[in-house]
Amino acid sequence: MDQKQRSSFTYPPRNNSPQESFNPNYDYPQFNSQNRTESPYTPSQFFNSQAREWDPHALLSNLSFLEQKIHQMQNIVREMIRTNEGQNCNISELTAQRQLLTTDLTSTIIQLISTAGSFLPTIRTSLLSGNAPIPQLGSSIPSASSAPSPSAYQPNPSPDYEELTKGWGENVVESAGQIQIEDLDVKEGEDVGQDGDTLPIGSYEVLQLEKEEILAPHTHFCTICGKGFKRDANLRMHMRGHGDEYKSPAALAKPAREPGSQPIPVKRYSCPFVGCKRNKEHKNFQPLKTLLCVKNHYKRSHCEKSYTCSRCNTKKFSVLADLKTHEKHCGRDKWLCSCGTTFSRKDKLFGHVALFQGHTPALPSDEVKGKNEEINDKDDSGGVGYNDGDEYLDMKGGYFSPMVNFDSFSFEGLDEFSRTTFDPTENSFSFLRSGSPDFARKGPGN
Amino acid sequence: MCDITAVLTVDLLAQVLDWLHDSRDLKSCRLVSRAFLQAERMHRRAIRPLRLGPLPVLLRRYVGSLQSLDLSSCPSLDDSALSLSIPCPNNLRSVSLSRATGVTWRGLEVLASVCPRIEAIDISHCVGFGDREAAAVAKACWLKELRIDKCLNVTDVGLAKVAVGCSRLEKLGIKWCFEISEIGIDLLVKKCLELRELDISYLKVGNESLRSIASLSKLEDLALVGCEYIDDEGLYFLSNGNCSLQSIDISRCENVTSVGLTTLAEGQQRLRKINAGNCSPVLTSTFVSKLCTLGDTLIILKLDKLQLLASALEIVGKNCRNLLEIGLSKCNGVNDEGISWLVEGCTNLSTIDLTCCLLVTDKSLLSIAACCRGVKCLWLESCVLISEKGLDQIASCCMDLKEIDLTDCNVNDNALKCLSRCSELLVLKIGLCSGVSDIGLSFIGTNCSKLLELDLYRCTAITDDGLAAISNGCKRLKKLNLCYCNQISDTGLAHLQLEELSDLELRGMVRITSSGITAMAMGCRSLTQLDLKRCYSIDDAGMWALAQYTENLRQLTISYCTVTGLGLCHILGSLRCLQDVKMVHLSWVSIEGFELALRASCGKLKKVKLLGKLQDVLSSELLQTLQARGCRIRWVNKPLVFKG
């Protein structure tokens, strides 16, 4: 799809100052669809404001304007009731009041739709990316003239969706046309990644979270008190304490996606570690499927292994679930490599031995002897030294620095990353871990 | 007396020695003078000591030039003996420890460390060896050749050790290592890319292993004897692999059919040797017709026990013109017509195996004699239809004939008379030919002076005179089988004065006694194997004589002899090379006798056959010691009888 055209849809002029388009003193004859044709924004204005972040105050003022409007209408209605009760009703006055009310209501509805329309893409994004922090995903208060097309995030909008956008006024396209040349893509380059397991290039969107976000214990934060939660559902439950408006079934319900809208576009994730095969910059980029994959991948590949098995005191893991999986059959691994790695299956051990130069299966009862011999062997060949103490340091080193090389290998263990991570098989981890020294050694070559 | 070395320098002497192959000749040479001894010392590359005692002296003498050391015949070889006997700076390239069951991984580790450039190790038939021993061997990183056949405890782990440690391996034999699986083979193939020869006979591996093996680009020689899990699919992998096989042995692979053989012949166009014996009984003509595409390259073809029609042999004859060896043993369809077609084409044939081809008659022999004048080996066991007429023709045309097997062919003295014209004859087997008498043997004795091996099994017409004729004529005999020739007595045995005789079978010769044995032992000092089973009259005196005169005796069978505990103790204690004794049904030996005798022999024996009942009465400590020294005891389940 043409990049330019897409960008024209993608980014609404979210920079509009709410005061200009939409303020409490705005008298509503102006606030109609006719006026919207003359967009008050020039490209220069747009440029000036483009760096501005979304402002919650703008939204708030917009809403309070609506509130004021509703109060006005309430007053009118009360007035009408009162005059009715007093029996001294003037027909013409009543008609005038009714007309006023109708106009007021119409304008309010338009206002509401406009606000909602500007929010729509934002909501959709936040729904899809799920855990992304709110500030990143926000958008400015849109003016009536800036109702953005939801197709912004959709390379191929469905006919249904186009119909929906049509309803928001025919000027939408025009106003979008003004900013057609602009590319405000904050997620620049995210869709550069190559195809994943089965997906063709471009058929999915690539998101990349920062290290801090990945490692953050909580991904859902209360906008009011700032408390963090692991799950959105828990956040919603928490929100009840902040007022009755959060107690409604709608607020508590799982945010549903827009009915009738196009199916959610396929999302893939990129690892923020530059050089990693899971990073979108890598030439053989292999995206991660879910956020959980991102987290587990990042922890396993780029973080220290802080969980040590209490039973064997040798195996270390960076993901707690991996440790738990290991503990289930710790001590049952009877296939031992000279490098100290154990395997529960012989073929896994032999696969490991086949892959790494100099590794041999250890004989059952000469573990200690075997290790000592290994040290000598390694020293002779100038390879990575193995001994009881430094073994894992070396391995970590292998994990941290040369990720490029690590990923340029493809072997079965790697597939573990793309799997949903709650069944990490023990073997694959020991396999990878023990492998790292060799990767480290081969590092400069690549 | 002038010094001969003034004329004949040591270098020249060494060149002369190149032409001497017989150990006896070399010995005479050594004894000429110091200069000759020196020349022999410099010239010698290999030794094969029979006893451990003189080994250090020998090794010190030859340490500079020695490259090959064969310790397989040494009794009571253990770790300390091994490590003490190998001098530290040495040029050893090859060591054989076959059947050295007393050695453990420690000894092997020492070997690997003191012989840094060792290239070949043979530890086959050390049945107790396992992964640890393999790991010790794997420390010899320059190893090119390794045989671990029948090291029964070697598993994939041991093989992996070898594969990782010895990545330069070119030849590997892992026959009968039943514990090795496809996983191990797969790793081996990934690590040892230099492999040229591989023997995985009798392993329980399947087609996947052949798929891996087929990726070995340098592989030339592959033996798959008795791999029951391999079928045509595996051969398909082989035919489409990277390897360019020159020799393949797929005999006894029950699941291989002619389809697989056909694909193999299509894919591997450089095959020179094919052994497809005992595969599937049916051989379609397609395989044979594919063989013709191999045509001139093929030199050895063995099709034992396959269904062959005369037409198939015709195709072979017309296409494989360079064939040197053909095996048609137990091929039911082979007849005179087929043989004549075969030999008409393959005129270079030197070895023809027609064992149990029951339809073969004199006509076949006539056509062989007419076409293949260079034939050297002719195996005709159980070809009952042949007669002296055919053999006469063979003897007159094939003057190069070296080996002939006429077991159970009903040949008579006339046939031997004809055969005696083949003065080059080395091996003659006429077992079960009751028509052969002393007259026939006298022809052989007069003319075939080069004979090395003579089999007279159950030639019951032979008497002392015949044996005398043989002993006088065939002085070079190494192997003689006289089993059940029960007319021969002590007088005949006394004629046996064969210095080089090493292997003598006298089983079931009821008339011989200890005096005959004594006379024989005095004449045949080189005996290494002797079978006296069911020679009921042999007693302690015979044992004394053997202990005194045949000091190289390694294998001895004295079951059913009237030996007592004393004689047994003496012979087991005195014979320093004895390794294998079968002493079942020695009813004159008491339990104490067995106990003492086994203790006396302790450390030397590798194999003992005893009555099963003794298992319970012999002291367990003794049995443990025996087993710890690498001795295997075979228990025979027969009743225990005492007469003493």
Residue B430 DSSP SS3: coil
Tell me the pairing of strands A307-308 and A316-317.
antiparallel
Q: How confident is residue A442, by pLDDT bands cut at 50, 70 and 90?
A: very low
Does position B151 have pLDDT exceeding 90, yes or no? yes
What's the whole-number mean pLDDT along residues B213-220?
94
Buried b vs exposed e over B318-343: b needs ≥16 C-beta within 10 Å?
ebbeebbbbbbbbbebbbbbbbbbbb
Chain B residues whose CB is inside 8 A of the A363 CB are 131-132, 135, 157, 161
pLDDT at B53: 81
ipTM: 0.85
Q: What is the pLDDT of residue A257?
A: 60
pLDDT of residue B292: 72
Closest residue in A to B134 (Cα) is A363
pLDDT (average), residues A6-25: 42
Residue B456 scores a pLDDT above 90: yes
Rounded to a whole number, what is the distance in Å from the CA of B109 to chain A's nearest CA?
A: 13
Report d(CA B34, CA B306) in Å as an integer: 59
Among chain B residues, the shortest Cα distance to A354 is held by B187
Helix (H) or strand (E) holding B199: strand B197-199
**Would the CB atoms of A350 and B161 count as touching at under 8 Å?**
no
Query: In this model, does residue B364 exceed pLDDT 50?
Result: yes
User: Which of A353, A358, A366 is closest, CB to CB, to B187?
Assistant: A353
Nearest CA-CA partner of B85 in B23, B66, B628: B66
Q: Looking at residue B247, what is its pLDDT?
A: 95
Instruction: Note the pLDDT of residue B460.
Output: 93
Interchain pair B186, A354: CB under 8 A: yes
Q: By CB neighbour count within 10 A (0-12 exposed, 13-18 middle, 19+ buried), where does B19 fall?
A: exposed
Give mean pLDDT, residues B266-284: 84
Q: Is the pLDDT score of A139 beyond 80?
A: no
Task: Give the per-residue pLDDT at B607.
Answer: 92
**Residue in A with minimal Cα distance to B185:** A350
Residue A118: pLDDT band by 50, 70, 90 thresholds? Answer: low
- The answer to whether residues A401 and A443 touch, using CB atoms and an 8 Å cutoff, is yes
pLDDT at B32 over 70: yes
Q: Which of B135, B183, B191 sits opposite A363 (nearest CB)?
A: B135
B135–chain A Cβ distance below 8 A for any pair? yes
pLDDT tens profile A324-379: 888 877 777 678 898 888 888 889 999 999 999 989 998 876 544 444 444 344 33
* Choice between A369 and B554, residue whose per-residue pLDDT is larger: B554
Question: Is A350's Cβ below 8 Å from some Cβ in B?
Answer: yes
Please state whether the predicted TM-score (pTM) of the whole model is above 0.80. no
Is pLDDT larger for residue A198 or for residue B448?
B448
Decide if B187 and A354 are in contact by the 8 Å CB cutoff.
Answer: yes
What does the alpha-carbon distance between residue B493 and residue A5 come to, in Å, rounded to a whole number? 112
Chain B hits for A347, CB-CB cut-off 8 Å, are 183
Q: What is the pLDDT of residue A37?
A: 41
Give the C-alpha distances (Å, rounded to integers) separating B572 from B302, B512, B548, B575: 43, 22, 12, 6
Does B161 lie at the interface with A, CB-CB under 8 angstroms? yes
The confidence score (pLDDT) of residue A261 equals: 58
A348 touches chain B (CB under 8 A): no
A78-112 residue pLDDT tens: 888 887 776 655 677 777 778 878 888 888 887 77
Question: Cβ contacts (< 8 Å) between A353 and chain B: which residues?
Answer: 160, 164, 187
Read off the pLDDT of residues B568-598 as tens digits, 9 standing for 90 and up: 999 999 998 999 999 999 999 999 999 999 9
Question: Mean of the pLDDT values across residues B439-460?
Answer: 95
Mean local confidence (pLDDT), B21-27? 82
Banded model confidence at residue B205, pLDDT cuts 50, 70, 90: very high
* Alpha carbon separation from A67 to A64, A73, A118 (Å, rounded): 5, 10, 19
Number of H helices, E strands in chain A: 20, 8
Out of B132, B157, B186, name the one closest to residue A361 (CB): B157
| Structural contact between residues A190 and A206, judged by C-beta atoms closer than 8 angstroms | yes
**What end-to-end distance do the CA atoms of chain B give, in Å?**
63
Which of A257-266, A371-380, B140-149 has the least mean pLDDT? Answer: A371-380
The CA distance from B441 to A34, in Å, is 133
pLDDT band at A115 (very low <50, low <70, confident <90, very high): confident
Residues on chain B touching A358 (C-beta within 8 angstroms): 164
Quote the percentage of chain A above a pLDDT of 70.
Answer: 46
Give me the pLDDT at residue A391, please: 33
Tell me which residue of B319, B310, B402 sits closest to B363, measured CA to CA. Answer: B310
When CB atoms are compared, the residue of B161, B183, B186 closest to A360 is B161
Q: Which residues of B touch A359 (CB under 8 A)?
A: 164
Please indicate whether, in this complex, the C-beta atoms of B157 and A359 are within 8 angstroms of each other: no
> From CA B268, how far away is CA B147, in angstroms rounded?
26
For residue B616, which amino acid is it? D
Where does the pLDDT of residue A295 fall: very low under 50, low under 70, confident under 90, or very high at 90 and above? confident
Instruction: Please name the member of A350, A358, A366 whose beta carbon is closest to the beta carbon of B156.
Output: A350
Query: Do B183 and A346 lie within an 8 Å CB cutoff?
Result: yes
Q: Helix H segments across B117-204?
A: 131-137, 156-165, 182-191
Predicted confidence at residue B482, as pLDDT, reads: 96
**Residue B245 confidence (pLDDT):** 93
Report whether pLDDT(B92) > 70: yes
Q: Which of B157, B182, B193 to mutate to test the interface with A (most CBs of A within 10 A)?
A: B157
Put simply, the answer to whether A346 touches B165 (Cβ < 8 Å) is no
Instruction: Tell me what pLDDT residue B308 has.
Output: 82
Between the alpha carbon of residue B50 and those of residues A55, B47, B75, the distances in Å are: 100, 10, 8
pLDDT at B486 over 60: yes
Name which residue leads in pLDDT, A162 or B551. Answer: B551
Residues in chain A within 8 Å Cβ distance of B190: 354
Tokens 């451990």, residue?
Answer: B52
Residue labelled with tokens 């186009």:
A162
- Given A347, A353, A363, which is nearest B132 (Cβ)? A363
Q: Inter-chain contact A350–B160, Cβ cutoff 8 Å?
A: yes
- Looking at residue B348, its pLDDT comes to 93
Mean pLDDT for the stretch of residues B89-115: 90
Please state the length of chain B. Answer: 644
Q: How confident is the model at residue B353 (pLDDT cuts 50, 70, 90)?
A: very high
Q: Which of A347, A358, A366 sits opposite B183 (nearest CB)?
A: A347
For chain A, give the percent of residues with pLDDT over 90: 2
Name the band, by pLDDT with cuts 50, 70 and 90, for residue A390. very low
Mutation choice for B interface testing from A348, A352, A360 by most B CBs within 10 A: A360
Residue A14 has pLDDT above 60, yes or no: no
Asked if B184 has any chain A CB less than 8 Å from its own CB, the reply is yes
Residues B390-399: what's their mean pLDDT? 93
pLDDT at B267 over 80: yes
| C-alpha distance from A402 to closest chain B C-alpha (Å) | 26
What is the residue whose two structure tokens read 């005692």? B53
**Residue B13 Cα distances to B392, B456, B486, angstroms:** 44, 41, 49
The yes-or-no verdict on residue B204 having pLDDT over 80 is yes
Segment B110-117 shows an average pLDDT of 90
Who among A347, A354, A360 is closest to B190 (CB)? A354
Between positions 265 and 304 of A, the ones with CB within 8 A of B are none
Indicate the residue type of A254: K
Chain mean pLDDT for chain B: 91
> What is the pLDDT at residue B29?
85
Residues A411, A296 contacting (CB under 8 angstroms): no
Whether the predicted pLDDT of A59 surpasses 80: no
Q: How far is CA B435 from CA B416, B467, B489, in A?
A: 10, 16, 20
Q: What residues does B275 pair with on adjacent strands?
A: B249, B302
**Is there a contact between B186 and A350 if contact means CB atoms under 8 Å apart?**
yes
- What pLDDT does A121 receive? 53
Which residues 458-497 of chain B have a CB within 8 Å of chain A?
none
pLDDT for residue A160 is more than 70 = no
Q: Does A345 touch chain B (CB under 8 A)?
A: no
Q: How far is CA A247 from CA A64, A231, B600, in A?
A: 21, 18, 99
B157 vs A contacts (CB less than 8 Å): 361, 363
Instruction: Check whether A220 has a pLDDT greater than 70.
Output: yes
| Contact B131/A at CB under 8 A | yes
For chain A, say whether B106 makes contact (Cβ under 8 Å): no
